[in-house]
Amino acid sequence: MKPGPREIVTPFRPIPLDVPEGMKPNEFFNSTENLNDLVHNNGLLMNPENLLMYRKALGHSNEFDTSIIYNTSKCVLNPLGRPVRRTQVPDNVKHVWNRMNQIMIEYMLEKYPDPGEALVLAGEASLDATWPLTSPGVPSIRMLHNHFIVFDKKQLADAELTDPSNPNLTDGGQHSLFESYMHDVYREFFDALDLHILKSASSGASTLALTGYPQGLPSWEISGGVETLKNICFWREYDEILKGFIDFYRTFFSQVSTRNAPIPKDAYFPEQIEHTLLFNNDFLGTAKKVRDICITDAKYANAIRWQPAFKQLIYRNDEGKLIVTISQNSIGNAITELLGVVVRRVPDAQAYEEQEPALIEKLLEVRQRLIDADLGEGIETKYWPG
């Protein structure tokens, strides 16, 4: 079978939400009113740390698909002021967040033990205010949330190949910049991180045979597999990967914006930036190339995400090992596209409702595990009990 990115079709039940007159949909979806609907119609579990588990009404997969969102909609009314990445979350919330992630991933791997039958992934995408609110692709809910998704590999294998130039797979040209012009310094910067649990993985180990993705990204194997997720030291290293990426991204686009810019304020690894990046000709030369284009091409400049925009992912490879990877965020802003899966959602209530009982059964089962671990209380909706 020819490897390549797949486009699957996922039916959904249309959401009965009326957007107030004069508001754009993505403006309304950021509102507290919409988040109330998320809780009451799709909410599964909530805890005192404001972490909300919910059923994805517009899901990626009807096999297994749920999210946990840091629901700050009532305590931070400014959508652009809400935490949008792990590094912005208070320590006590992050502690609970990590435990929830561990249980969710453990459940998916237990329920789908065969890597040949199911693609299992969990991760977050940046929801920063990196574009104007009215631009296409701007996130609909500007708060930190993780995705937990399982795809049936037979469905993926039967799905149509999608065009590799699909904007959802290209990172708007920014990934090619990192890979084509700064490949060595990009990896050198990550290699200097003090990691003990995460071991650098080869591209062969990280690439899925079915899709050929991820492509050329730095990746790490989780030593010890799923049991390691119970070790808080793993989650600290997971954060180190994100901090390193943020430093690299901010430093690069600071140089694009302003020639010979200083080290970004509040950098996590200032010495590493100074020694590895700001004295590297490939790094600074690439920044000049991008800067020169921005000066003459308004459309190109407007498409750049000037603030750190990322996808960070834990997924199971073809050999059953857990892999961590990170990438610049794409225009499509969907976590699945990092693994070469493009989801085309179609409104089809009947098709969705045929798949819904099995999906809800699994979501309620994993919810009970979270409740048993004192990670929240169940929410009652018209679709399930509390």
Q: Is the pLDDT confidence value at 136 over 60?
A: no
Predicted confidence (pLDDT) per residue in 259-306, tens digit:
999 999 999 999 999 999 999 999 999 999 999 999 999 888 877 878
Instruction: For residues 49 and 71, give the distance between their C-alpha atoms in angstroms, rounded to a whole number.
Output: 9
Helices (H), 258-333: 270-272, 281-296, 298-303
- Is the residue at 385 inside a domain? no
Percent of the chain clearing pLDDT 90 (strictly above): 67
Instruction: For residues 268 and 270, give the distance between their C-alpha atoms in angstroms, rounded to a whole number.
Output: 6
- Is the residue at 230 inside a domain? yes
- Is the residue at 145 inside a domain? yes
pLDDT score at 135: 58
Please state the pTM of the whole predicted model: 0.93
Read off the pLDDT band of 150 (50, 70, 90). very high
Domain ranges, residue 332: 6-378
- Is the residue at 204 inside a domain? yes
- Is the residue at 160 inside a domain? yes
Predicted confidence (pLDDT) per residue in 311-324, tens digit:
899 999 999 999 99
- Is the residue at 1 inside a domain? no
The overall average pLDDT reported for the chain is 89
Please name the residues in contact with 222: beta carbons below 8 A apart, sequence gap of 6 or more: 197, 198, 228, 229, 234, 314, 321, 322, 323, 324
- Is the residue at 58 inside a domain? yes
Q: Quick one: average pLDDT of 101-123?
A: 98
Asked whether 59 and 335 are in contact (CB, 8 A), the reply is no
Instruction: For residues 356 and 350, give the distance between their C-alpha atoms in angstroms, rounded to a whole number.
Output: 10
Structurally, the chain folds into a number of domains equal to: 1
Instruction: For residues 279 and 293, give the distance between their C-alpha atoms in angstroms, rounded to a whole number.
Output: 22
Instruction: Kindly give the interhelix angle for 281-296 and 232-257, rounded to the nearest 10 degrees.
Output: 60
What's the gap between Cα 210 and its chain centre? Answer: 21
